Structure 1
Amino acid sequence: MSSRSLAERSPRVRDERAALGTRADIQALRAVAVSLVLIYHLWPNRLTGGFTGVDVFFVISGFLITSHLIGRPPRSGRDLAGFWSRRIRRLLPASLLVLAVTLVASRLVAPETQWAATAKQAGAAALYVVNWLLASDAVDYLAAENSPTPVQHFWSLSVEEQFYIGWPLLILVLVALASRVRRSPTLVVAVGLGAVVAASFAYSVHETVTEPARAYFVTPTRVWELGVGGLLAVLIGKNGFGRGRSVEAVAWPPAARAVLAWTGLAAIVWTAFTYTGATPFPGWHAAVPVLGAAAVIAANAPEAPGSPAGLMAMRPVQWLGDVSYSVYLWHWPLIVLVPYATGSPLGLLDKLTILVASLVLAAWTKRYVEDRFRSPEWGRPLRKSYVLGIAGMAVVVAMAAAQLVEVDRGEDAARRALAAAIADDDPCFGASALAPGVSCPRTTEGPVVPAPAQALKDKSDAYEEVSGGKDCWASAPRFPVTVCEFGDPDAETSVALTGNSHAGQWLPALQEIARARGWRITTYLASQCAAAETEQQFDTADKSGRCSGWVKRVTRRIVTGGYDLVVYTNRISVPSVGNDIAGSQDDYRRGYEKVLSSVRASGVPITVIRDTPAPGTIIPDCLAENASDLTRCSAPRDRWEPAEPVVDAVHDLDDRGIVLADLNDRICRSERCDGAVGGVVVYFDGSHLTATYARTLAPVLERPLMKALARG
């Protein structure tokens, strides 16, 4: 059957689209974009690059918005206010509804550990700045490990809203400039937009290389994608500025336009199947789906033999394009919250149910929310849209703030409970429950201390948010040498603690010992970068090189620092260059040996702490979800306990001045590890000890420290 005959099966759809000024090919492109995102989120291993659907949406938005703006270019503040009023009515009612419903649903079914993060992101999403919050979290190693919230997909909507604020201002300036210099507005606007696109693209490529986690979310790395759509609207439009804008297609023969449309679709689908989470993105890789989407729009697929126009005009495709915005809004909260409601990971039936529910909710939202508020009466008088938009945003922000107040009150109660538990001096508290010869019951149900929501924040004083301003971490991308001191500044015994975040987790235990013995502790800590002379594979070569530089500089500082003892431990967070984690063990063993040998050459004794078990799942979340059966937050010890090449390094060096401390028998039982031991939450995330549990390990850690000091 030809494309033309396929198209003719739905003539009423085409007639309706023409009457509404809506292009069937763009609606179809929306359908493709939301399908990619939906399938990717439900079946990420089947469509590894489905996240590129968002980039397709960006191009569409840039094209349509610019088409409106150049058809009626803004020339005054009132013109801008009218444009933004239409955007408010188009986007805010549905998005604010979903945010409000999600906040309520999250409070009802999600564990208490998720309430604060969801509330913060929902408030930021209501103000359309959540992409910047997520960018900040993305470059925070520990925050990046947090469970996803049901509103984080609003990052792309935030990018678009910020674009909608700045883009009209840019076009207003360019149109005014064209009038002043008496040049064609098409030329001036095209040059101006082209310059912005080029600058944003260059920045995107640079930022993706230097800080890819942040680059994914921030607006400057994404503006060029919307700008490509905007530039296309200028280049292929008909008529003049201010005389209406009839945007059609490239002036090619129908057969060539059909080929162009198929090529664009193929490019989009190719990225969906070949890109993965390891693809540097956005950067230049985003150009493939972006240009693919631009090609489809530029082609405006004609009804000709071999054209995709017939498929695009089919009713189901057009309907999905119509509801794509609401589908995007609803699908992610369902994906995140359904497992909490059912108490189990998503199965096939759950995913199919979410798929259907997303479509049903989207249809309802489109009809009763989107379409209703788009009607002209909601924009008259002009201030009406703004009053309603601000009121809606205020309601969501207030709901988020109320949730944060509840979390704060819960944390106050949790702190009092923790203080009482510590004061109780229970012989089975924390790590003491696993001491040899004692008989303490296994912690199988709550309550536990710190309470799970508080446990997320129960970190050492090395963290800025705990110490109230002192950030003790050398972080990517620069990895500067960062030094912090704790304990008695005039102490006779000086101890250096060095390594990555799994060294930092021992600071609370060291502080307990230091208080009792009058020591001074100096920290040399890095985020992710292990203190090993090993080429470590970060997401950019520059970070790898700077990590190596940090190791060498810190080793020199420790060797010349006059310390009485060095406490050394690391987690293998990234593989060695060219390997996976399993294949990196020998590289790390040799790297550990080099650092330990350098320190020992100065005569300083070393206590090497074997790395601690790592669950890999957020333990406070698990405990909050399973308060009546905490055994669901446990696993065989050999599954959590990592391979530890530093043990082999210590044995190979065979130096009496290096004492190996293996405290894992006080974290796990002989065969099994639990998320809570002795009534205490063991981890504040998926691998790091809570400060409370670390303190209960102080008596056990003290013995190998004193042994090493005696040998020094």
Structure 2
Amino acid sequence: MIRADIQALRAIAVLLVVAYHFFPGTVPGGFIGVDVFFVISGFLITGHLLSKPPQSPRMLADFWGRRIRRLLPASFLVLLATLVAMLLWAPQTIWSGISKEIAASALYVQNWFLAGQAVDYLAVDNAPSPVQHFWSLSVEEQFYLVWPVVVLIAIWLVRRHRRRTERQAVGVAIFVIVVASLIASVVITITDPAAAYFVSWTRAWELGLGGLGACLFPWVQQRVGESHAARVVVAYVGLVMIAVAAFSFTGAMPFPSYTAALPVVGTALVLVAGIGRGALSPLRVMAWRPVQIVGDSSYSMYLWHWAALVMLPYALGHALHRNGKLITIIVVFFLAWLTKVLVEDRLRGRRPLGVPLRRSFLFAAVGMLAFVLAAGGVVGFVNMRAAAAQSQLDTELNDPASCFGSRALVNANACTPHGKSLLTDPVFAAADQPAPYKDGCWVLGDFSDQKTCHYGSDLPDAKKVALVGNSHAGQWLPPLQQIAKKENWSITTYLISECYTVDRPIQFPSAQKMKNCSDWNDKVITDVQHSGYDLVVFSNRTAQPMPGMTEAQTFAAAQESYTRVLDEWLRTGTPVLVLRDTPYATELRNVPDCVATHLKDLSACDGTDARKQVDPLAAAAEAISAPNLSVLDETSRICAKGTCYSVLGGVIVYFDRGHMSATFATSLAPDIKSAADALLARSAKR
């Protein structure tokens, strides 16, 4: 029997998510619709398993087969449509990333894939994936895989020991899981907040609480009895809790953690209330036919809405504005209804996919394999394009023209800024990153892994060079590597993401990450001071705030701190070359993506002097008068006459929107070599 209140909760959940994604300002906490879905799933699946408990592998297979027929046909349809839309309209720069996520979504491990991506802050510069919403479906599928096994074990134990009823045994097992998962949710949200949003451990308690509601439902109904008023009050309390969360929560709050208890407990209260249609009952509105239609189509609506929102701008060639979004929502409703009627309803039964049962699993296996192979084919194609571009580029680099890359502004009278042709393909540029990205030579995540790496010469007489800073230091490694080949340099990298090299705390979401950043900086400052380097190359992007400070206060405090750090190094006689932070294409999401969509008008991806960055490190260095300190400002190699370029001399300047591509950075090697030689010569005369 289909409960109208549950269908209405589904409608509320999907409408909250749709409103949050299309018009985020209207429902700032609309993301809690996913949590409502989790509780509903836990309640329904646990109730089903209690009414028909699995007692054999065959019964488990039958349960999983029904889940396959219920969920996979519609999800595979949306994944296929997304893959086709990507190939038709999206720039090739994002094909590889989207394809990998399509494969992860088809295998229902998208939540773990995104949790892995969450530690890479560069990923925020990438275009949103049209299938990233499959993370919640992945959590649910993993729940459907494990939950019947938990119920089976609990029932087997109670039948063996006969100490309590089957429902009590299942309830105890679920309670243990809920407590353990809630603790994990609180801890992981503190220690790794970005990944905590996606991983299954932090979400299991939400599904489990719905399961507890199913275990307690008969007892609650007996206690409440015929008291319609009590049920109505409980249901209204639950609905108010959901509403408060939806309109008061924001993305800045720690989540899921214990914070999610408000919408989760609220949903559970509505479910266990089991309200009827009596006087003042919210069911009188919840049972309204349009609400029920939305609830019936909520699964397909959830599948289609995000894919449509992300992919349509590529098809149309411009962003969706308010009217466009409203039309898109109508289209999504229509697509969801068609998918419900023509796909979900037709394939969820015993035929054609359920008899014999192996057809269900064959359908799942073939579908997953097909998407993995298709994604692999797209990634292979993109890699071939990048390899071909690299081959052509190697030829150019062996005999660089006077207008190549940054040289286009050096020889401005003889060169056109963008170049006569695009020498770095956008697909190639998106992957044109310094070696540490491929080598894993970064301190990432919670900054607990304090690694350093070596590049360049291994000869005992090599000049010892330290490259110090965050990712805006790492972008300078390619030109340093080129110099190292010719000048016998041995380069040690001290590279970390976001954390910049100062002697005071920097604000991060977790206390552990703040401490690890400070520990890393203490290590780096000490290592550089006592390791006898012949040259230190130092650069940072100073973006993260300091605790309790505004942006201006942070910059002032950072400049003072940088001054102290530089003084410590300079007192040892070590030459320090400070590289001023480079312009940042803040108005674009991703430069290679922009170039890929504006190949006939590269100027559409250029910016203004607003891209230039305030750099407290360079300011600190410029205020110090020391023969063993120099500042190199390469802004004029990217910006000229009020324009900051995204393509120069046929080379795409950035591989995202703020980090120079390895190829473009390499074109700056002559400037770095000249500055380093002058600094070393001046220091040698002391």
TM-score normalised by structure 2 residue count: 0.96
1:623 aligns to what? 595
- 1:265, distance to aligned residue in structure 2 (A): 1.4
Residue in structure 2 matching 1:123, options 77, 81, 103: 103
- Deviation string, structure 1 residues 575-619 (Cα, Å, up to 9, x no partner): 111234344211211121121111112221211111011113211
Correspondence 1:315-326 to 2 at 5 A:
315-326=289-300
1:519 lines up with 2:489 in the alignment = yes
1:61 lines up with 2:41 in the alignment = yes
- Structure 2 SS opposite 1:566: strand
- Deviation string, structure 1 residues 680-704 (Cα, Å, up to 9, x no partner): 0110112111110010000011222
2:606 aligns to what? 634
User: For structure 1, which segment, 570-579 or 681-690, has the greater mean C-alpha deviation from structure 2 after superposition?
Assistant: 570-579
1:421 lines up with 2:396 in the alignment = yes
2:441 aligns to what? 472
1:4 aligns to what? none
Contact kept? 1:67, 1:247, Cα under 8 Å? no
1:209 lines up with 2:223 in the alignment = no
1:274 lines up with 2:274 in the alignment = no
Contact kept? 2:49, 2:148, Cα under 8 Å? yes
- 1:358, distance to aligned residue in structure 2 (A): 0.6
1:336 lines up with 2:307 in the alignment = no
- Stretches of structure 1 that go unaligned for 5 or more consecutive residues are 1-20, 239-245
- 1:248, distance to aligned residue in structure 2 (A): 9.1
Correspondence 1:65-464 to 2 at 5 A:
65-183=45-163, 184-237=165-218, 251=225, 253-378=227-352, 379-435=354-410, 438-443=413-418, 448-463=422-437
Contact kept? 2:224, 2:230, Cα under 8 Å? no
- Structure 2 SS opposite 1:523: strand
Change (3 A) 1:158 1:435: same
Contact kept? 1:484, 1:522, Cα under 8 Å? yes
Quote the Cα distance in structure 2 between the aligned partners of 1:249 and 1:388. 45
Change (3 A) 1:619 1:568: same
Change (3 A) 1:363 1:437: closer
1:550 lines up with 2:520 in the alignment = yes
Contact kept? 1:260, 1:295, Cα under 8 Å? yes
1:44 aligns to what? 24
Quote the Cα distance in structure 1 between the aligned partners of 2:631 and 2:387. 39
Count of residue correspondences: 678
Change (3 A) 1:479 1:527: farther
Contact kept? 1:663, 1:701, Cα under 8 Å? no
In structure 1, what residue type is equivalent to 2:443?
A
Quote the Cα distance in structure 2 between the aligned partners of 1:250 and 1:382. 41
Change (3 A) 1:364 1:248: farther
- Deviation string, structure 1 residues 425-472 (Cα, Å, up to 9, x no partner): 211000000115643112188x52321112121111122x2xxxx322
- Structure 2 SS opposite 1:473: coil
Quote the Cα distance in structure 2 between the aligned partners of 1:361 and 1:121. 22
1:709 aligns to what? 680
In structure 1, what residue type is equivalent to 2:361?
Y
Quote the Cα distance in structure 2 between the aligned partners of 1:204 and 1:544. 20
Structure 1 runs (4+) deviating above 6 angstroms are: 246-249
Residue in structure 2 matching 1:650, options 576, 597, 621: 621
- 1:271, distance to aligned residue in structure 2 (A): 1.5
- Structure 1 SS opposite 2:454: strand
Quote the Cα distance in structure 1 between the aligned partners of 2:477 and 2:222. 65
> Share of identical aligned residues, percent?
45
Quote the Cα distance in structure 2 between the aligned partners of 1:394 and 1:198. 36
Correspondence 1:518-597 to 2 at 5 A:
518-597=488-567
Quote the Cα distance in structure 1 between the aligned partners of 2:156 and 2:509. 44
- Deviation string, structure 1 residues 14-59 (Cα, Å, up to 9, x no partner): xxxxxxx011111000000000100111112222211110010000
Quote the Cα distance in structure 2 between the aligned partners of 1:661 and 1:449. 27
Contact kept? 1:125, 1:155, Cα under 8 Å? yes
- Structure 1 SS opposite 2:27: coil
2:638 aligns to what? 667
Quote the Cα distance in structure 2 between the aligned partners of 1:491 and 1:269. 69
User: For structure 1, which segment, 424-433 or 315-324, has the greater mean C-alpha deviation from structure 2 after superposition?
Assistant: 424-433
- Deviation string, structure 1 residues 55-98 (Cα, Å, up to 9, x no partner): 10000011101111000000100110111111011000000011
- 1:401, distance to aligned residue in structure 2 (A): 2.4
User: For structure 1, which segment, 598-607 or 83-92, has the greater mean C-alpha deviation from structure 2 after superposition?
Assistant: 598-607
- 1:630, distance to aligned residue in structure 2 (A): 1.2
In structure 2, what residue type is equivalent to 1:526?
I
Contact kept? 2:20, 2:31, Cα under 8 Å? yes
User: For structure 1, which segment, 474-483 or 627-636, has the greater mean C-alpha deviation from structure 2 after superposition?
Assistant: 474-483
In structure 2, what residue type is equivalent to 1:532?
V
Quote the Cα distance in structure 1 between the aligned partners of 2:59 and 2:411. 77
Quote the Cα distance in structure 2 between the aligned partners of 1:525 and 1:396. 37
Quote the Cα distance in structure 1 between the aligned partners of 2:129 and 2:240. 33
In structure 1, what residue type is equivalent to 2:390?
R
- 1:250, distance to aligned residue in structure 2 (A): 5.5
Change (3 A) 1:56 1:405: same
1:509 lines up with 2:479 in the alignment = yes
- Deviation string, structure 1 residues 317-371 (Cα, Å, up to 9, x no partner): 0000000000000011111111111221211122012101110000000000000
Quote the Cα distance in structure 2 between the aligned partners of 1:658 and 1:237. 77
In structure 2, what residue type is equivalent to 1:93?
P
Contact kept? 2:419, 2:649, Cα under 8 Å? no
- 1:529, distance to aligned residue in structure 2 (A): 0.7
Quote the Cα distance in structure 2 between the aligned partners of 1:572 and 1:640. 15
- 1:558, distance to aligned residue in structure 2 (A): 0.6
Contact kept? 2:409, 2:417, Cα under 8 Å? no
Contact kept? 1:248, 1:300, Cα under 8 Å? no
In structure 2, what residue type is equivalent to 1:189?
V
Contact kept? 1:491, 1:520, Cα under 8 Å? no
Quote the Cα distance in structure 2 between the aligned partners of 1:593 and 1:482. 25
- Structure 1 SS opposite 2:617: helix
Contact kept? 2:406, 2:667, Cα under 8 Å? yes
Change (3 A) 1:111 1:32: same
- 1:259, distance to aligned residue in structure 2 (A): 1.8
- Deviation string, structure 1 residues 177-236 (Cα, Å, up to 9, x no partner): 010110221221111110011101100110000001111111111111111101110111
- Structure 2 SS opposite 1:604: coil
TM-score normalised by structure 1 residue count: 0.93
User: For structure 1, which segment, 204-213 or 453-462, has the greater mean C-alpha deviation from structure 2 after superposition?
Assistant: 453-462
Quote the Cα distance in structure 2 between the aligned partners of 1:394 and 1:334. 24
Contact kept? 2:542, 2:616, Cα under 8 Å? no
- Structure 1 SS opposite 2:561: helix
Quote the Cα distance in structure 1 between the aligned partners of 2:286 and 2:355. 35
- Structure 2 SS opposite 1:376: coil
- 1:484, distance to aligned residue in structure 2 (A): 1.2
Quote the Cα distance in structure 1 between the aligned partners of 2:679 and 2:600. 43
1:17 aligns to what? none
Quote the Cα distance in structure 2 between the aligned partners of 1:582 and 1:110. 39
Change (3 A) 1:75 1:518: same
